[in-house]
Amino acid sequence: VKMKAQILKMLREADGYISGQQLCEKFGVSRTAVWKVIRQLQEEGYEVEAVRNKGYRIIDSPDVMTKEELESLMDTKWAGKNIVYYDEVDSTNLRIKQLGDEGAVEGTLAVADRQTAGRGRRGRSWDSPAGESISMSILLRPQITPNQAPMLTLVMACSVAEGIMDCKDVCGEQQIQIKWPNDIIIHGKKLVGILTEMSTQIDYINHVTVGVGINVNLTDFPEEIRERATSLRLECGHKVKRAPLIAAIMKRLEENYALFMETGDLSQLMEKYSELLVNKDRDVMILGAKEQYVAHALGINKTGELIVRKEDGTIEEVYAGEVSVRGVYGY
Ligand code: BTX
């Protein structure tokens, strides 16, 4: 597996052809062994050209999220370095929680092509059909207290939005935005859902699982969510490859997580998060258990609360665990 991922990486990074000889020497194997790996890649859908006296050159890759594909693209130190891939699984969040209990390293990333029991918040479900979406969950082991953990959802939201925008050929200049606290939307519709779950003792965290579902190439949604959901393909007008997107998000997550851990809060991220916020400078409806009111959203504070100005001019900071927010006009 390692050799296959490394050969893929070398092919990708090569400027032109890589000779069979070079690959043999690098891995200390025979020409036949190298050829076998190339054949396997071709069978998996990679377009690899083999030219006598020149060597191998990669022309195109399939839209797969296999361990080798992801490993060959991942440009991080720890986030997404240990990958577990499933063609089909109940929920990547459940898998990561289990792997976390079993002692897996921080940054372990579970990726699935399809989930049969994808979970949303508060017992809701998340649709992730085969071949068209990204379902992934990452294992974190932060030394923070349980009440700091919800901020990790915002760290991830920021990373996903930035990661998508980093992939230049995906949506160009189109604005990917965050709906506080953790939905990512494009053109007013939901593109990404994030679910953070933690395993805790009374005063410390065993581990945190942050799950991300991204609608990449879906072209249709179930009746109930058709009005509110969308995909990159629908908004950007073309199919998008999933593995490079995952790698870009992991790269951003690694940076943003470091900024978070330096202070234990969002003080180094709140400015850019607020810039990405669809609700910023707009009226929102605050839906609390006891009261509901309309207020003007200003941004987030360093603990991730939404800062709003009420109609009487007073400033309030609302906590995501206690209220939800709805745009007064759409988002
Ligand atoms: P949420 O509770 O904010 O959103 C769930 C709601 O969103 C559903 O009730 C439904 O109305 C709507 N919905 C369901 N599927 C989709 C979809 N594909 N696109 C848009 N809207 C949808 C959001 O919860 C958190 C979702 C996290 C999903 C990831 S996938 C990897 C990981 N594993 C897992 O089981 N969950 C996470």
Pocket test for ligand 1, best of 93, 126, 287 (most atoms within 8 A of CB): 126
Kindly report the pTM of this predicted structure: 0.93
**What is the full DSSP assignment across 111-145?**
EEEEESS-B-GGG-B----TTTEEEEEEEE---S-
212-245 tens-digit pLDDT = 999 999 999 999 999 999 999 999 999 999 999 9
Q: What is the pLDDT of residues 70-98, one digit of tens each?
A: 999 999 999 999 999 999 999 999 999 99
Higher pLDDT, 203 or 179: 179
Q: Which atom of ligand 1 is nearest to 215's Cα?
A: 18
The CATH number covering residue 10 comes to 1.10.10.10
* Whether residue 55 sits in one domain with residue 86: no
Same domain, 233 and 313: no
What's the confidence (pLDDT) of residue 124?
A: 93
ipTM over 0.85: yes
**Is residue 324 predicted with pLDDT exceeding 80?**
no
Whole-number pLDDT of residue 46 = 96
- 115 and 167 together in one domain: yes
- Amino acid 15: pLDDT: 87
pLDDT for position 295? 93
The mean predicted confidence, pLDDT, of the chain is 93
Q: Does residue 181 have a cis peptide bond before it, meaning omega lies within 30 degrees of 0?
A: yes
User: Cβ-count burial of 130 within 10 angstroms (0-12 exposed, 13-18 middle, 19+ buried)?
Assistant: exposed
Verify that 145 and 184 share a domain, yes or no: yes
- What is the C-alpha separation between 135 and 89, in angstroms, rounded? 10
Asked whether residue 260 falls in the same domain as residue 286, the answer is no
Least confident range from 22-26, 100-104, 124-128, 325-329: namely 325-329
Q: What is the pLDDT at residue 253?
A: 98
Q: 141 a known binding residue?
A: no
The SS3 call for residue 154 is helix
- The finding on whether 97 has its CB within 6 A of some atom of ligand 1 is no
Q: How far is the CA of 93 from the centre of ligand 1 (A)?
A: 12
Domains in the chain, number: 3
Whether 195 and 122 map to the same domain: the answer is yes
Residues 258 and 286 in one domain: no
Question: Distance (Å, rounded) from C-alpha 198 to C-alpha 27?
Answer: 41
Q: Say yes or no: 188 and 256 in one domain.
A: yes
Residue-wise pLDDT for 168-198, tens only, equals 888 876 789 999 998 999 998 999 999 999 9
Report CA-CA distances (Å) from 69 to 60, 61, 217, 225, 241: 12, 9, 18, 32, 11
**What CATH number is attached to the domain comprising 320?**
2.30.30.100
**pLDDT tens readout for residues 266-283:** 999 999 999 999 989 999
Q: Is residue 128 located within the same domain as residue 72?
A: yes
Half-sphere exposure of residue 268: CA atoms within 13 angstroms, side-chain side: 10
Determine the residue type at 248.
Answer: A
In this model, does residue 31 exceed pLDDT 60? yes
Which of 23, 39, 60 is the C-terminal boundary of a domain?
60
Nearest atom in ligand 1 to 218's CA? 18
Residue 164 and residue 47 share a domain: no
172/225 same-domain check: yes
* pLDDT given for residue 330 in this prediction: 60
CATH code for position 206: 3.30.930.10
> How do residues 92-143 score in pLDDT, each as one tens digit?
999 999 999 999 999 999 999 999 999 999 899 999 999 999 999 999 999 9
CA atoms of 228 and 121, how far apart (whole Å):
16
Same domain as 288, residue 156: no
Give mean pLDDT, residues 203-215. Answer: 95
Q: Which domain holds residue 13?
A: 2-60
Task: Say what the pLDDT of residue 170 is.
Answer: 87
User: Is residue 92 marked as binding?
Assistant: yes
56 lines ligand 1 (CB under 6 A): no
Reported in sequence order, the residue ranges of 63-222 that DSSP labels E, i.e. its strands, are 83-89, 109-115, 133-140, 176-179, 183-186, 189-200, 205-215
Ligand 1 contact, 135 CB (< 6 A): yes
The pLDDT, as a whole number, for residue 289 is 82
